Homo-oligomer: A and B are copies of this chain.
Amino acid sequence: MAGNSHNTDWIAVDWGTTNLRVWIIGPNDSPLATLTSQMGMGVLQRDGFEPALMALIEPYLTDAKVVPVICCGMVGSRQGWAEAAYLSVPCMAPDGQSVTAVASGDPRIAVYIVPGVKQVTPPDVMRGEETQIAGFLHDHPDFDGVLCLPGTHTKWVQISAREIVSFQTFMTGELFALLAKQSVLRHSVSEDGFDAGVFDDAVTEAMDRPQLLAARLFGLRAGSLVADLEPAVARSRLSGLLIGAELAGARPYWLGQNVAIIGDGVVAGPYRRGLAAQGVEASVFEVGDVTLTGLTAARNSCKEPMP
């Protein structure tokens, strides 16, 4: 690895609450290596970010040059490495013009953080997804419609004329994790498994009567106690109930719209399936690819020559 250190042109970083993902980029923006760790923002103090990054990238640095490091995600939040102020909607997805330079203790790197995007009315925020959006729009500059970015905090984003017009966040993924792992349902829900028919039925039920969500959730526990509900079925039903309620709430975003989903397969699949049942055929784009494209676009549009 270290033998290639002179090939490192710049470094792309997607730094979220839970994970740190790094791409070492060589000449012509070609990735030389992909590195990951569990050193997300959630487990780091402010002075822990640089060591966590260096632990991954050190072998790819030389004393001969200064390497730009372009970061997106929660690393730019108030609890992150340095706060990168939000842009406000309506706005273009951020590029290199709006990055925040971060002081680092190592002269071999020059660190920049992409800003998040906020909406004041109704209040909403994103950090990381704006870079995915920038990457998607780099490849699809004429896209006009809605992006769905499923995850811990799923975003529905209205895009028009290359601008982020408005967005709405549903904390569906976090609810799923809390309920499956930390609530009374943990005794009744398996760690994996997906039954498509059960999921579909639960989506329909939740879309029809979202007000019964908290009752249907307890029904998963009761079903396992008095009706032999299988843990894998309970998991599929939990997913369907939460995503169904979200689809009902996000209806103004997807109804009659051109929808693209940006996510990994595990989380994008159920959203695509739920939308298809409503007659919306959404394309799916891999989140890692789109993030790297967005960070590359930021790297190539920086306001001043990077070292």
Cα(A16)–Cα(B182), bound, Å: 18
Counting chain B CB atoms within 10 Å of each CB, which of A169, A209, A214, A222 scores highest?
Answer: A214
Contacts of A174 in B (CB 8 A): 183-184
Cα(A211)–Cα(B178), bound, Å: 19
A214 partner, pick from B218, B222, B229, B246, beta carbons under 8 A: B246
Q: Judge whether A212 is part of the interface by a CB distance below 8 angstroms.
A: yes
Contacts of A182 in B (CB 8 A): 178, 182
Q: Residue of B at shortest CB range from A244?
A: B211
Interface size on A, residues (CB 8 A): 47
Cα(A171)–Cα(B184), bound, Å: 9
Within 8 A of B (CB), among A143-195: 153, 168-172, 174-175, 178-179, 182-184
Contacts of A1 in B (CB 8 A): none
With contacts A211-B249, A212-B249 taken as known, whether A118 is within 8 angstroms of B225 at the C-beta atoms is yes
Shortest CB–CB separation between residue A78 and chain B, in angstroms? 8
A249 partner, pick from B118, B179, B209, beta carbons under 8 A: B209
Q: Is the CB of A226 within 8 A of B169?
A: no
Within 8 A of B (CB), among A218-249: 218-219, 221-223, 225-227, 229, 242, 245-246, 248-249
Q: Judge whether A124 is part of the interface by a CB distance below 8 angstroms.
A: yes
Q: Is the CB of A123 within 8 A of B222?
A: yes
Q: Is the CB of B214 within 8 A of A249?
A: yes
- Per CB-CB distance, the 3 closest pairs between chain A and chain B, nearest first, are A211-B248, A210-B211, A211-B249
19 other A-B residue contacts (CB within 8 Å) besides A169-B218, A214-B246: A118-B225, A119-B222, A119-B226, A123-B222, A123-B225, A123-B226, A123-B227, A124-B226, A153-B184, A169-B219, A169-B222, A171-B184, A178-B178, A178-B182, A178-B183, A211-B248, A211-B251, A213-B213, A215-B250
